[in-house]
Structure 1
Amino acid sequence: MFSVTSGQLEAWMVAFLWPFVRMLALVSTAPVFGEPWVPRQVKVGIAAMLALVLSPTLGAFPAVPVVSAGGLWIVIQQVLIGVAMGFSMRLIFTAVLAAGEYIGLQMGLSFASFFDPMSHGSTMVVSRLLNMLAMLIFLALDGHLLMVNALADSFRTLPISGGPLAAGGWMFLVLAGGDIFASGLMLALPLITALLTLNLAMGILNRASPQFSIFAVGFPLTLLAGIFMLQLLMPNLAAFLEPRFAEAIANMLRFTQGLRP
């Protein structure tokens, strides 16, 4: 007759729960998986499926009871690690949103905004467009699969343990946040330069011919020029984002390596 002891049951719970917590934290915050339109049941199901697949390959776990202060500390650690890994991957998409904000301001579309449930605030229509394109490119490049692979590798670089976490990983994550402005500006720089040149030309034209109503044609002309420049940008968007997606996935592993004591 098949029987299960309390020790075996607790070992199975440990082998599933702790990896599941890290995976659920990443799935809840990572791009594509963590979007608001993805149901919570789907997020929990994806994390549970990954935990069932990966848990047998993770080796031994610390001999700490789940219902204890040490077990609670390990759960908190896994939540922090998973959230930080998902956040490091989302930095690229935040840079794309920042580029859309820069472009929208130059095109005169600062008033054209939607409510973004992810940031709980208004987001320009250009930012939403570029963000959706970035997600499609991310899926086309199998970025979601590479992200799951990096999550599996994180258990090798930073195994589950009850020890303290080093501060190097958190400092690396803070410094990586500065790339949001640099990457966003690099993506938006061609359009900003072209639109600023157009505004400068219209300013010179207005000074040379004051009777010419520059305000009547300035906004439509700026908007058409911005749309034309966006059309030229689209074919090069994948080439710009591909190396940054690869760098973000590599940063996930560098972050976990920086947490090793």
Structure 2
Amino acid sequence: MIGIDFGFGALELEFWRFMFVMTRIGAALFAAPLFGSAAVTAQVRVILTGALAIFVCNWTHVAAPPQLLSLGGMVVVSGEILIGLAIGFVMQLAFAAPLIAAEMIGASMGMAIAASADPVNGTHSAIFGQYFTVVLTVLFFGVGAHLDWISLLVESYRTFPPGTAWMTPDRLHLVDRFAGDMFLTGIMIALPVVLLLLVVQIVTGIIGRSAPSLNLMALGLPAGVLAGIAALVVSAPLIGDRLTDLAHTAVAYSAALLH
């Protein structure tokens, strides 16, 4: 198997098969927006990867390369890592759409400078970014999209067995198209709130021109914040539907990449 015989026979072969299966699953979980977040510790990811690898070993006939530590074996392992990263990355694109919408809404409300530490991603995000991320996460688990994604990850071993060609120009083009859809979805989520804030800003500008003695900053900023909050409350059902569709779209992106 690896050029080194530890004397355990079939048990050793099964162990290296198990470790080989963990490469694709571990890479997918590392790149996924929820399972690979900073809030999920490395120990939890390793345990989850091992648990999924046990099921894959029982449900499929995946075989490790004959010489796992040879050059050919390392190439096959690299291909497994690439497939796993791609499955998680395209879902990451879908989860970036609410963050784009949050940036647009925050900038329109005059709260672009208000940023907070995001414990999920380990970075600083817009003040509404965490709100949209939490809502999308709840909806993602609520509609069972995580189960569909894990099922898709298991099915990828039947669609693309280890060692088969996977990276083609068509699939690279799919990633580009998914990135374009991400920006479009972010705009659609933020559009109702941004349009209302645009009207508020126009009205505030007209009032400022009509009465120059008024403090435009003292009038416009509170009006924009209140109007933005009101728009978020009113458009909550629409945004919820968009985020629900986005949860299914995230899995559909990964599925389209594997067919």
Q: Same fold (TM over 0.5)?
A: yes
* Change in CA separation of 1:184 and 1:164 when aligned onto 2, cut-off 3 Å: closer
SS at match of 1:115: strand
Map of 1:97-246 to 2, 5 A cutoff? 97-116=99-118, 121-161=123-163, 163=165, 165-246=167-248
Moved more, 7-16 or 196-205: 7-16
Moved more, 46-55 or 65-74: 65-74
Distance (Å, rounded) in 2 between the aligned partners of 1:167 and 1:16: 31
User: Where does structure 1 lack aligned partners over 5 or more consecutive residues?
Assistant: none
Give yes or no for contact 1:27–1:86 (8 Å, CA) kept in 2: yes
Give the aligned partner of residue 47 of structure 1: 49
Cα offset, 1:122, TM superposition? 2.8
In structure 2, what residue type is equivalent to 1:192? V
* Change in CA separation of 1:27 and 1:60 when aligned onto 2, cut-off 3 Å: closer
Distance (Å, rounded) in 1 between the aligned partners of 2:221 and 2:42: 43
In structure 2, what residue type is equivalent to 1:151? L
Moved more, 57-66 or 46-55: 57-66
In structure 1, what residue type is equivalent to 2:181? D
Distance (Å, rounded) in 2 between the aligned partners of 1:107 and 1:234: 17
Cα offset, 1:5, TM superposition? 6.3
Give the aligned partner of residue 22 of structure 1: 24
Cα offset, 1:55, TM superposition? 1.2
Cα offset, 1:160, TM superposition? 1.3
Map of 1:29-44 to 2, 5 A cutoff? 29-44=31-46
Deviations 1:7-59 (A, max 9, x none): 52453134312221111111112122111011100000000000001212222
Cα offset, 1:162, TM superposition? 5.5
Give yes or no for contact 1:73–1:162 (8 Å, CA) kept in 2: no
Give yes or no for contact 1:22–1:79 (8 Å, CA) kept in 2: yes
Count of matched residue pairs: 254
TM-score by length of structure 1 reads 0.89
In structure 1, what residue type is equivalent to 2:146? H
TM-score by length of structure 2 reads 0.90
User: Where does structure 2 lack aligned partners over 5 or more consecutive residues?
Assistant: 1-5
Give yes or no for contact 2:56–2:154 (8 Å, CA) kept in 1: yes
Deviations 1:156-192 (A, max 9, x none): 2111125564332222112211222111011000111
Deviations 1:187-223 (A, max 9, x none): 0001110000110011111222223333222111110
In structure 2, what residue type is equivalent to 1:219? L
SS at match of 2:128: helix
